[in-house]
Amino acid sequence: MEIVAYGVLADEEALLQQALDRAFTGSHELRCLRMFLDADTVPTAAGHEIVLSSVNDTLDARVLRALADGGTRMIAQRSTGYNNIDLAAAGELGLTVARVSYYSPYSVAEFAWTLALSVNRRIVRAAHRTREFDFRLDGLMGRDLHGRTAGVVGTGKIGAAFARIAHGFGMRLLGWDINENPDCLALGMKYVERDRLFAEADLVSLHVPLMENTHHLVDADALALMKDDALLVNSSRGGLVDTDALLATLRAGRLSGVGLDVYEEEAGVFFLDKSLEVMTDERLARLMTFSNVLVTSHQAYFTRDAVGQIVETTVANVGDYLAGRPPGSGDNFLVGPPAGA
């Protein structure tokens, strides 16, 4: 059988191929495509029972119907998030949908801190200057984070890892979540209401999934509560932040620094080379003009450790589906567990 994978990055392909070879000893072939799966590219999936999707693929009802009509029976998403998949439509079509429920939380937590430290200490501006042999310190002053307050929005595995690093910096910890994490409580974290967290934190970092009740969690009201010199970091999902409200806040000269690894309209932009094109997304282009804003292309998860776990779990999900075994993790299969489970 030939399995087709979409949105495969160059550094990911070898790991994915190796994991498939180890699991199936050459009994299945892998076709890796750089392009994303959407209504225009879905004909290329015809005849493939198993499709390996990426978080930037568009798997709405129309695309899922085309996949089913073309013979696809399983979609294995190579990510934890699945808000790009219409699960109700998948269920109606009899498709099996799996995801990766867990991978290294340290990859994202450490990158969130990379963003926070970079915008706090003006690292990008400093690096650009020194490459031009400009060694002035004007405009590069940051702040000590020791003794200040970190607000962690979402205290699951990634949020807890972020909090442990903040604790190492000697920061006071505030948390917001529907459930309190004992590991965070042990660090001295105090759980508070969302508004209090935004008002008191010197650094706010987002680690919640994108759902209906978290869409634009950081809206104009939340931003108005934040300190004028606060830092905001989003390494979770772009839709958590209302971009228009953030731009208005930045135009008003508020917030000391913003680090964004995700953007609410990133589909069709992130992971692609747009350097020779006119940037038609005016909001993204505007964000890039602020010297205190750092935007990266959804790379927080992108370590060898995390990607290795992602591809191994994806291949294991495929194995469970093919063998009709119960899934290794109850959280991996979102729709239609393997037949005979």
Mean pLDDT by 10 residues, the chain (341 residues): 95 95 92 96 98 95 98 96 93 95 95 98 96 96 98 98 98 98 98 98 97 96 98 97 98 98 92 91 95 96 95 95 74 73 47
**The one catalytic residue among 48, 122, 207, 298:** 298
Q: CA–CA distance from 100 to each of 62, 256, 299, 307 (Å)?
A: 24, 35, 17, 11
Q: Both tokens of residue 195? A: 């508004």
CB 298 within 8 A of CB 115: no
Which of these, 300, 237, 260, 297, lies nearest to 106 by C-alpha position?
A: 300
pLDDT score at 341: 47
CB 15 within 8 A of CB 313: no
pLDDT score at 268: 84
Token look-up 């990607």 returns 307
Give the Cβ contact number of residue 46 at 10 Å: 13
**The one catalytic residue among 122, 237, 264, 312:** 237
By three-state DSSP, how is residue 113 classified? helix
Residue 43 DSSP label: G
Q: What are phi and psi of 83, to 5 degrees?
A: -70, -10
Q: Is 237 a catalytic residue?
A: yes
Q: Model-level pTM greater than 0.85? A: yes
pLDDT score at 330: 66
Beta strands, E only, the chain: 2-5, 29-32, 50-53, 74-77, 96-98, 149-153, 172-176, 190-191, 203-206, 231-234, 257-260, 293-295, 333-335
Token look-up 């009709």 returns 324
d(C-alpha 42, C-alpha 167), whole Å: 47
pLDDT score at 81: 86
pLDDT score at 326: 64
Which of these, 241, 233, 250, lies nearest to 151 by C-alpha position?
A: 233
d(C-alpha 171, C-alpha 148), whole Å: 5
Domains of the chain: 2-103+303-335 (3.40.50.720), 105-295 (3.40.50.720)
By three-state DSSP, how is residue 96 classified? strand
Q: Is 312 a catalytic residue?
A: no
HSE of 193, CA atoms in CB hemisphere, 13 A: 5
pLDDT score at 83: 86
CB 77 within 8 A of CB 97: yes
**The one catalytic residue among 12, 264, 266, 312:** 266
